[in-house]
Amino acid sequence: MTIKALRDQSLPMRHIVHVRNHIISSDGSVEEGGNDAGPSPHDLYDAALSACKALTVVWYAKRKNIPLEHVEVSMERDASEERQGVYRLHATLHVTGDLSETQRAELLAAAQKCPVHKLMTSVTTEVTTVLG
């Protein structure tokens, strides 16, 4: 899969990200010199984890016939030590439905095993950057 980020000429930092048939605007905050015309790359990184946890919980609930009605993931970022090599994300899972404590625990366990969580914490990611 190829993902492209193309600069929007109308704003100094904004890029339009193309993922298959989807378009996402990304920009820096005003403090970073952008116009805040979209989420920053850090926001998108954090959002990927939130979305993966939510989708994993829905998938798991459907697979196990758990009566999940609603799922929401709130993500808090602490990037205060990022330059020292520590980037902290705190996810809070909000679920509703006629759920037993056992089912709630199962959903939490499923969220902790989402593929993006594993990718962020258990895998070595190699990135190669070249000029085209």
* DSSP H or E segment with residue 15: strand 15-19
Q: Is residue 16 part of a domain?
A: yes
Q: Sign of the CA dihedral 94, 70, 111, 64?
A: positive
In order, the DSSP letters of 63-122 are HTT--EEEEEEEEEEE-TTGGGT--EEEEEEEEEES--HHHHHHHHHHHTT-HHHHHHHH
Can you tell me the mean pLDDT for 18-37? 93
Its domain, for residue 26, covers 3-32
Q: Is residue 15 part of a domain?
A: yes
Residue 21 sits in the same domain as residue 70: no
CA–CA gap between residue 91 and residue 46 (Å, rounded): 10
Can you tell me the mean pLDDT for 65-90? 97
Residue 83 sits in the same domain as residue 20: no
Residue 113 sits in the same domain as residue 48: yes
User: If pLDDT is split at 50, 70 and 90, which confidence band does 12 have?
Assistant: confident
Q: What is the pTM of this model?
A: 0.90
Residue 10: per-residue pLDDT? 85
Asked if residue 80 has pLDDT above 90, the reply is: yes
Residue 76 sits in the same domain as residue 117: yes
Q: Is residue 85 part of a domain?
A: yes
Query: Residue 8 — φ and ψ, nearest 5°?
Result: -85, 110
Residue 74 sits in the same domain as residue 95: yes
Q: Is residue 132 part of a domain?
A: no
Q: Sign of the CA dihedral 22, 62, 74, 81?
A: negative
Residue 84: per-residue pLDDT? 97
Q: Is residue 131 part of a domain?
A: no
Give SS3 for 55.
helix
Residue 51 sits in the same domain as residue 115: yes
pLDDT tens per residue, range 38-66: 999 999 999 999 999 999 999 999 999 99
Residue 86's CATH number = 3.30.300.20
Residue 1: per-residue pLDDT? 83
Q: Is residue 103 part of a domain?
A: yes
Residue 12 sits in the same domain as residue 45: no
User: If pLDDT is split at 50, 70 and 90, which confidence band does 2 have?
Assistant: confident
What domain count does the chain have? 2
Asked if residue 124 has pLDDT above 90, the reply is: yes
Q: Is residue 114 part of a domain?
A: yes
